[in-house]
Amino acid sequence: MRGHAAAARRARRGGRPGPAGGRARRLVARRHGPGRLHLGAPGLGGRGRARGGARALAGRADLRARRRGAAAALPAVGRVPVTDREVAEAAARRAGDLLRARFGADHAVRRKSAAGADVVSEADRAAEAAVVRLLRERRPRDGILGEEGARVEAERTWLVDALDGTFNYVSGVPHWCAAVALADASGPLAGAVYDPVAGELFSAARGEGAGGLAVRTGRPLRSALVSTFADPRVMTDVALLALAGAAILRTGGAGSLDLAWLAAGRLDAWVQRSPEPWDWLPGALLVREAGGRAEVLDGGWHVAGAPELVEQIEALLAATRA
């Protein structure tokens, strides 16, 4: 009888002797679902919360998750990244989760240039250091180029903007992201943009698509929502003024996240003069793999969007140089 009772207890625990086996599996299943984590899961990303409280963050995450092209599923628990795309995703998540845990706190910042919005915080440096450690572990032969100073040269190079939108971040504005791309002599090979506040991960690899993302097509410039970086130093640039024909010209303050939104069909075009490579390449790959164009034009202008809209903007910019 004692043997039958013990067998029955083992069956109730999931077939393994001792209390840990079945109970642990049931806890994992309740918390994360059967074997996978999803970016929309409440609480993912640590202790941090944006101003307005955890409920506001959760509500925004739920809303974003229902939008077209929303977050991709995370790899299975404990799975080691294998492909370049997976490494990019893991690196962006590593930075984003660290930053989300600190979002809403007071941050000491310093200016990197004369531009008032060009600032750096300790959070930037900590997030970049975390990404560099991961890349050195997973891709030790590759080079690394980081906004906050990481420099390792090689034929293949990882470009890291661990916190794109620092001014938004330190101001409590929930529009910022972590962005990572791997590039070779032909351009970006793989990349990821992670918005930890909304719980959205956008990623792509050259020739493999962008996880179902698709740029919005069929809108002329007069009906388009165009993103740019309205630095006061270039506000009077005749080329920028030429874009006044757009329905809305907006500045989000996080270029990679705006490019990811463009790839997801939420914006129509992206225009900026001479962005840094880590501000351009992760999102440019997303746009191209989502069916759009991402071009570098004369004068240092970088333009992305649906093919027909990029042609219109290119013609406008060319006219200002005539």
| pLDDT number for residue 277 | 95
Radius of gyration of the chain (CA): 22
**pTM confidence score:** 0.73
**Burial (CB count <10 Å: 0-12, 13-18, 19+), residue 68:** exposed
| pLDDT number for residue 148 | 59
pLDDT reading at 27 higher than 50:
no
Specify the higher pLDDT residue, 81 or 143: 143
pLDDT reading at 200 higher than 90:
yes
| pLDDT number for residue 238 | 64
Q: Please say whether the beta carbons of 301 and 317 come within 8 A.
A: yes
- HSE-CB of 54 using CA atoms within 13 angstroms: 9
- Confidence band (pLDDT; 50, 70, 90) for 131? very high
Question: Residue 23, Cβ neighbours under 10 Å: how many?
Answer: 13
Would residue 291 be called left, alpha or beta, if left means φ above 0 and alpha means ψ between -120 and 50 degrees? left
| pLDDT number for residue 193 | 99
CA–CA distance, 192 with 205 (Å, rounded to integer): 9
Determine the residue type at 69. G
Look at strands 157-164 and 143-146 and give their pairing. parallel
Q: What is the DSSP string of 59-104?
A: HHHHHHHTSTT-PPPPPPTTPPP-SHHHHHHHHHHHHHHHHHHHTT
Specify the higher pLDDT residue, 123 or 78: 123
Q: What is the DSSP string of 191-217?
A: EEEEETTTTEEEEEETTTB-TT-----
| pLDDT number for residue 276 | 93
| Phi, psi of 250, deg, nearest 5 | -125, 155
- Confidence band (pLDDT; 50, 70, 90) for 146? confident
For residue 78, give every residue at least 6 positions away whose Cβ sits within 8 Å of its Cβ, in sequence order, or none: none
| pLDDT number for residue 6 | 47
Q: Which domains does the chain have, with CATH numbers?
A: 54-205 (3.30.540.10), 221-321 (3.40.190.80)
CA–CA distance, 164 with 175 (Å, rounded to integer): 9
Q: What is the DSSP string of 164-177?
A: E-HHHHHTT-S--E
Structure tokens of 62?
């739920």
Taking only the tens place, the pLDDT of each residue in 29-76 is 333 333 322 222 222 233 333 334 433 444 444 444 444 444 444 444
Share of the chain above pLDDT 90, in %: 52
